Chains A and B, each alone.
Chain A
Amino acid sequence: MVQTFKHQSEYKVIGSRPVRHDGFDKVTGRAIYGGDIKLPGLIWGALTRSPHAHAKIKSIDTRAAEKIEGVLAIITSKDMPETEDKMVDLGEGDENPRWTSNKLMAQQKVLYKGHPVAAVAAVNRYIAEHAATKIKVEYEVLEAHNDVDSALRKDAAIILESLEGDDLGEKIHNTNLAKHEKYEFGDVDKAFTNATYIEENTYTMQMVHQGYIEPHNATAFWDEEDRVKIWTSTQGAFTARTALSNLLQLDVSRIKVTPCEIGGGFGGKIPVYLEPIAALLSKKTGRPVKMMMERTAVFETTGPTPGGKVWVKIGADKEGKLIVAESKIWFEAGCNPGSMIEPAAQCIYAPYDIQNTRIDTYDVIVNKPKVAPYRAPGSPQVAYAMESAVNDLCEKAGWDPLEFRMSNASDKDTRRGDGVKFSVIGTKEVIKATKNSKHWNSDLGPAEKGKVRGRGISHGYWFNIGLKSSVNLNVNKDGTVTLIEGSTDIGGSRASISMQAAEVLGIPAEDVRPSVVDTDSVGYTDVTGGSRTTYATGFAAWEAANNLIVEMKKRVALYFDRNHKDINFESGVFSVEPDIENEKPERNITFKEIAEKIDDDDLGGPVNSVGSVDLESAGDGFGMHIADVEVDLATGKTDVIRYTAVQDVGKAIHPSYVEGQMQGGAAQGIGWALNEEYFMQDEGGMVNSSFLDYRMPTSLDLPKIETVLVEVPTPLHPYGVRGVGEVPICPPLAAVGNALKDALGIRFSDLPMNPAKIIKAIGN
């Protein structure tokens, strides 16, 4: 039975906006990110990468590179340990270490442009990078497949020969189809015959990148006892440790991962890339080895979220009830299986209560980098398709798109497209808040000459994950508490986690001192991802704080010479009623006062506590966005002129950082809608692999992003927190698309909706 909570309406710390604990270090340049690590005897590593997207490796000649002064070691796939052929759970997705090893250092074939084929260690970065260019590799170039249609052609070149595909449970070979799954409820075919209005369309999209500003990095030292220390920017030190254990064939206890400050991740810094290579170069040289990834390689070899296509068909009866939905989702996995087709299926119909649903999903291998999670992986693509289709259905039938979404909204016990039923959710509250928002009740205003304006809305949904977290608390003599956690702080989570402990302890947030520590120094903690950190590590902090109070009561009882069961605790004060029978008076003592006494007096030694959780869910999250756009008819350029993000956040622990998540997610979604894409050349390989050509939004491209925080607390969390970070990237694609439809009367069903496509469409 899952524990459920009733919530207070007022808090002291929760909902306030203290300065984050790591803030001073981060505005002064003192904070140590992965790239800032320095060690005695440090040397540098660099990679030789494939210029081809699909090719056989005929030979690798390292002799010229070895002769360069300052080169200390060279490795190829022959130096990679033999790994097991099994699936390993890495928190936000599974991986087969054999394929991961091949992805990180090519064996017989290169499978994507930039695929590493050799690595060099040298006395400095310049020599390492120079030597890497002197390794001669002979290739036999093969046909490269850039997209799902090409890869699924009958005569397609097979990318991963050892792949055993799964087509609805049937094993298939010599294929680029890794998996085909189906989810079906009700009677879809019959429901379509009963539908008065039907909308059907296919939506296509390219891979996009998380675009974190800090490149991947790793520093490794492999010592004489086969113990490996890793310093890196990772979203999950323990997840990295598991991955490294499989790749290096070492027990987890031999690997210590120190998570440095991290310069953005959005899911893309869950997988390891450089860490195992740096470790093997260290093993070979006996020196600590550091590697930094160049930006081109960040684009070409890490992280993208899948491109692909989504076909959607939906039907409503004449009263405006959405009675049926069917979809097929094809996602590009990159060079290894695993393209987030499951979350796509979980998310696609989630905002709606639909009785008859069918989903087919296809996980397709292509000659592109293996995808990694990116903020609600799989959900924005399907939200783009579904929310565009809903908009067009409403237009066809003459229904108000907001009222239609309200009358068909999902609620408690609604069944998702994958069969899971919802607990308490805030879909209707979010729609209501959207309807009441300033933005929705404002005029679009007149466009400038030669421009047209439009407004669009869209839903977004992410289920949020729970998983494992550990927190330790220690009481200091001055009444402060140190909080030891394993969750990388990627955007203010030290503050949101400390605040949840502070609320229980009745002390200010500033009096909780958080530290994010290495894998030897705290209990297992899953990734900072899945919107789980404030939820799950915060839950662990709450539990640890409650356990700390239990311990403190025992010490107070000793101090008062009373039974610990009689000690009360409220708002930071321990108290006990008078014991008239034994002539003992009423007593009070603050948290701070007793902390000092425990240190000085014989009250049982230092006080510390542990919180440890393994949670199934982090409370389903819904959001709705409103986008106003202005399109220049001469250039096809779209400006987002006003934008509002509405979201059910459960309970906002630190509202500023909740708003920040919503604004940041919206900005990434706007970039995805209008500009960002992996632009591929026919022979494979991304051609726009720089920030200049990839063109993420700048401050000049975006308006102020208004936020409306709706709070429908989830009963699953002590404070009602819902995961926040991922939902806001889901609505912008269709919100912008629907705004463009409003402005131009044209449905853009291919992302990104860039000036070239708009000019072409207007011309037609």
Chain B
Amino acid sequence: MANTNIHITTTINEQPYEFLAPSYMSLLDALREIVGLTGTKEGCLDGNCGACTVNVDGRIVDSCLVLAAEIDGCKVETVEGMASSEGLHPLQKAFLEEAALQCGICTPGFLVAAKGLLDNEPNPSEHRIRHWLAGNLCRCTGYDKIVKAVQKVSSEG
């Protein structure tokens, strides 16, 4: 296989990173295999489940559909960047209190996606939340408690 390594300089969770990645490598694989951030999960590798959702320059993307080379010069946020030294992000706290996760594999993607919504729209309707999160599949919860957790944060916000 032809292989060209690409030099990537980027910011991930407010930390500077510089690394080489093969030209064909996805952002998902670069995060998990090179950077060592395994909080972003692989679910389908074809952009249909949202388990690998990350935020690139303020946009929610499926990291399995983005090439690592594309994040050169970008700001990337993953689930690992949500909590701070002051503690959990309000969404993380609400997910725990509302029992919004069962197996937890989709949780990082939901958290990053929900944060992307609330960062721009602090008070979305239930329908808006359900519409926004429709790109993230959860097979355990029936979404009820996930939607409630997001609503809880938006009403407190």
Contact = CB atoms under 8 A, between A and B. Distances in A.
B8 interface: no
Interface in A104-131: 125-127, 130
Contacts of B35: none
15 contacts: A24-B96, A26-B107, A29-B78, A126-B24, A213-B103, A214-B105, A263-B43, A654-B99, A656-B98, A657-B102, A691-B48, A698-B134, A698-B143, A704-B147, A705-B144
A390 B155 CA distance: 45
A663 interface: yes
A28 B39 contact: yes
Interface residues of B, number: 57
B130 A263 contact: no
B63 interface: no
Contacts of A491: 102-103, 140
Given A19-B97, A27-B96, A28-B80, A663 B103 contact: no
B138 to A, nearest CB: 7
A27 B46 contact: no
A316 B93 CA distance: 54
Nearest to A212: B139
Interface of A: 17, 19-20, 22-24, 26-33, 35-36, 125-127, 130, 210-215, 261-266, 292, 294-295, 490-492, 654, 656-657, 659-661, 663-668, 690-692, 696-702, 704-705
B83 interface: yes
A22 B102 CA distance: 10
Given A657-B102, A696-B137, A696-B139, A19 B96 contact: yes
Given A127-B1, A263-B104, A28 B79 contact: yes
B44 A130 contact: no
A294 B64 CA distance: 13
B106 interface: yes
A31 B103 CA distance: 11
Nearest to B106: A213
Given A491-B102, A660-B140, 4 more contacts: A261-B104, A266-B139, A657-B99, A699-B134
Contact of B43 (A20, A24, A125, A214): A214
A666 B9 CA distance: 46
A704 B144 contact: yes
B41 A263 contact: yes
A490 B103 contact: yes
B67 interface: no
Residue among B1, B38, B104, B137 having the largest count of chain A Cβ atoms under 10 Å = B104
Contacts of B96: 19-20, 23-24, 27
A668 B142 CA distance: 8
B13 to A, nearest CB: 10
A225 B147 CA distance: 51
Nearest to B135: A698
A214 B41 CA distance: 8
A292 B108 contact: no
A23 B101 CA distance: 8
B130 A699 contact: yes
B145 interface: yes
B59 to A, nearest CB: 20
